[in-house]
Amino acid sequence: MSEDILVIGGGIAGMQASLDLADMGINVHLVESLPSIGGKMSQLDKTFPTNDCAI
Amino acid sequence: MLDVGRHPNIDLLAYSEIEKVEGQAGDFTVTVRRKARFVDESKCTGCGACEGKCPTIVSDDFNEGLGTRKAIYAYFAQGIPSTRTIDADYCRQLNGKKCGICQKTCQADAIDFDQKDRIVELNVGAIICAAGYEVFDPSQIPEYRYQEIPNVVTAMEFERLLSASGPTGGHVDRPSDRAVESEIAEFEKKAKKSEKVVANFEKKYESNSAEFYEKFQSGQYKDDKDRVKWADKYSENLVIVESLEALKKKAETFATAKRLAFIQCVGSRDFRFYPFCSGYCCMHSIKEAIVANEHDTETTSTIFGMDIRAVGKGFEEYKIRGGNNSAISYTRSRVAEITEGQNSNPVVTYEDTRERKIKNQEFDMVILATACAPSAGIVDLSKLLGIELDDYNFIKTSPFSPVDCSIPGIFVCGCAGAPMDVPESVAQASSAAERAAETVFQYNFNKEKAVA
């Protein structure tokens, strides 16, 4: 039995899920295969429809 | 991103892969391989001094191969964790050559060439799979001539060209022009080297190369081996200088791309590849066209598509605003082919489906709105997790439980389940987080009940 949660993938979805769980007080293990988290979204210059900076 | 790195409840295992998953909801045992970075994460301060000294230059994946990085690198500047990684495929030291410059440079003593992969075992109650997606490779569509015509790029490549932190600092320089510029740099290096050789001869014989060469051509010094070499080297130098001048003259006319074409549904809504609509491509083409116009107000864009699908909060307004304020024209059409015209300009041949006419139009650059393809490692990962995939290799879910996988205790969010944009990914991630927390709390509650 464990109360921890594993999140596979550190893109925008994985990061958001991890933060939500961590804020609930749950221990999260976030596994990402690349050297840095951020995923495809970190490659984007801006995001629609507000033209906010992606990072 | 920074919050994830700092949160006390998040154990960040970057540069790691799942090896084995056993157990069931409430009690999974997961084996994770922590790949060797050859840099001690706890010691590295992220100063980047090693990167400055590393002699090995490698194509940069983060910039879609449009830029370069070193063999010791940060995946991108603001990357979390802010530590460097050595690319074992390219590092000289790790490939048996003599180097180790990074190790000598590092003041924190963080470089460890003997580092090995580590296996970590985790015990978790639930799993969220957010494995993402892959950009469709448009070279599978031969008529678009991606990679054959340098100025035909994917939307992700164009995104890097637009980015201020990208390889061009946010200037939309055409790939064909950038290729010429790097050729010029190469020729300049060559010219410098050959001028040095020629200058040495001039010093040795205390005479001008041009005068000597004239004499040499009129038949003098033919038996003097050293002077023959001089003549060879001088003529070589002349050829280099001439090519360099020609390239420089060509480069004078270079300007950033101002006439852009966006081609929609590249790989999606196409029965040869993916019949589904990827959902976000219409919007990112509009966004890129708007941002390009912000960078340079002379930029005009034409978006070629069957229709523009602006489904989402504020999306339709964004589309109209783009058309009114950012010189975007939407052309309802089907693109048949892209060919290369004069000056490396791509020419788009399309059927205007409103006028029912075949037309040709020349552009400075063509951007392909590529489909959302399933993640490359998803088949292996699904086998490890024991979850089912759908016909296209996205994770299978049902319409009434869109974040539940086929096995209890495993949830999915983001593009691993289906193509979706950022706002939808975020919403689904919160939903998956809640479902996973529910699983954990439920098992915890049952455990407490059993004790009582």
Task: Read off the pLDDT of residues A8-34 as tens digits, 9 standing for 90 and up.
Answer: 999 999 999 999 999 999 999 999 999
Chain A residues closer than 8 Å to B170 by CB: 45
Q: If you average pLDDT over every residue of chain B, what do you get?
A: 93
Nearest-CB residue to B291 (from A12, A37, A45):
A45
What share of chain B in percent tops pLDDT 90?
A: 85
Any idea of the CA torsion for B95, B186, B148, B286, to the nearest 10 degrees?
100
Q: Which of B17, B13, B410, B127 is nearest to A37 (CA)?
A: B13
The residue among B140, B44, B112, B129 whose CA lies nearest residue B415 is B129
| Distance to chain B for A46, nearest Cα, Å | 8
**What letter represents residue B383's amino acid?**
K
Question: In the numeric block, which tokens belong to residue B240?
Answer: 């280099």
Phi, psi of B393 (to 5 degrees): 80, 25
Block residue for tokens 């051509």:
B217
pLDDT, position B452:
61
How high is the pLDDT of residue B130?
97
Strand pairing category for A5-8 and A28-31: parallel
Mean pLDDT of B32-38: 96
Say yes or no: A4 contacts chain B, CB-CB below 8 A. Answer: yes
The confidence score (pLDDT) of residue B218 equals 87
In chain B, which residue's Cα lies nearest the Cα of A8?
B129
Q: What is the pLDDT of residue B223?
A: 83
pLDDT of residue B44: 93
Q: Which residue of A has its CA nearest to B417?
A: A13
Decide if pLDDT at B227 tops 90: no
B26 with A1: Cβ contact below 8 A: yes
Chain A residues touching B64 at Cβ < 8 A: 43
pLDDT band at B443 (very low <50, low <70, confident <90, very high): confident
B contact test, residue of A42, A43, A51 with most B CBs within 10 A: A43
Task: Give the distance from residue A23's alpha carbon to the nearest chain B alpha carbon, in angstroms.
Answer: 8
Q: How many helices (H) and strands (E) does chain A have?
A: 1, 4
| pLDDT-derived band at B1, boundaries 50, 70, 90 | confident
A19 vs B81: CB contact, 8 Å cut-off?
Answer: no
Place of tokens 């997961």: B30
Cβ–Cβ gap B437/A2 under 8 Å:
no
- Is pLDDT above 80 for B390? yes
- B39 band by pLDDT with thresholds 50, 70 and 90: very high
Alpha carbons B76 and B160: distance in angstroms, whole number: 12
* Residue B220: per-residue pLDDT: 83
Contact flag B425-A16 (C-beta cutoff 8 Å): yes
The SS3 call for residue B335 is strand
Taking the CA of residue A21 and the nearest CA in chain B, the distance in Å comes to 6
Element (H, E) at B175: helix B175-205
Which residue from B80, B130, B430 is facing A36, i.e. has the nearest CB?
A: B80
A29–B11 CB contact, under 8 Å? yes
Interface of A with B in 36-55 (CB under 8 A): 36-51, 55
Determine the pLDDT at residue A55: 62
**Residue A54 pLDDT > 80:** no
Nearest CA in chain B to A6: B127
Q: Which of B108-122, B370-384, B431-445 has the lowest mean pLDDT?
A: B431-445
Cα separation, A19 vs A5, whole angstroms: 12
Q: Using CA atoms, how far apart are residues B150 and B143, in angstroms rounded to an integer?
A: 14
Q: Which residue has the tokens 């200058």?
A: B199
Measure the CA–CA gap between A19 and A25, rounded to whole angstroms: 10
Inspect the interface and report whether the beta carbons of A34 and B14 lie closer than 8 Å.
yes
Question: Across the interface, which of B80, B128, B422 has its CB nearest the CB of A12?
Answer: B422
Q: Which of B287, B272, B281 is nearest to B307 (CA)?
A: B281
* Token code pair at residue B224: 């003097």
pLDDT at A1 over 80: no
Separation between Cα atoms, residue A8 and residue B60, nearest integer Å: 24
pLDDT digits (tens, 9 = 90+) for B268-298: 999 999 999 999 999 999 999 999 999 999 9
CA dist A16 and A13 (Å) reads 5
The per-residue pLDDT for range B158-172, each reduced to its tens digit, is 999 999 989 999 999
Q: Measured between alpha carbons, how far is residue B151 from residues B20, B179, B339, B346 in Å? A: 43, 11, 11, 7
pLDDT tens track for B313-364: 999 999 999 999 999 999 999 999 999 999 999 999 999 999 999 999 999 9
What pLDDT is recorded for position B20?
95
Is B222 in contact with B231 (CB distance < 8 Å)?
A: no
Angle in degrees, CA B90, A9, B54, rounded to 5: 20
d(CA A31, CA B80) in angstroms, rounded, equals 13
User: With 90 as the cut, is the pLDDT of residue B428 above it?
Assistant: yes
Q: What does the alpha-carbon distance between residue B176 and residue B365 come to, in Å, rounded to a whole number? A: 10
Predicted pLDDT at B207: 86
CA distance A53 to chain B (A): 10
| Measured CA distances, B198 to B206, B226, B231, B236 (Å) | 12, 12, 9, 10
Whether the bond into B81 is cis, omega within 30 of 0? yes
Query: In the predicted model, what is the mean pLDDT of residues B393-399?
Result: 96
Nearest CA in chain A to B11: A29
Q: Could you state, in order of their start, the residue ranges of all structural domains in chain A?
A: 5-53
Q: Which of B2, B3, B6, B12 to mutate to test the interface with A (most CBs of A within 10 A)?
A: B12
Q: Between the CA atoms of B60, B66, B68 and B72, what dihedral angle is there, to the nearest 10 degrees? A: -10
Query: Which amino acid is present at B388?
Result: E
Residue B430: which of A3, A20, A48 has the nearest Cβ? A20
Q: Which of A50, A26, A44, A42 is nearest to B435 (CA)?
A: A26
- Selection from B35, B30, B34, B33 nearest residue B121 by Cα: B30
HSE toward the beta carbon, residue B307, CA cutoff 13 A: 7
**Range B223-245 average pLDDT:** 90
Nearest to B424 by CA among B320, B305, B316, B311: B311
In the numeric block, which tokens belong to residue B30? 């997961």
The DSSP secondary-structure symbol of B293 reads: H
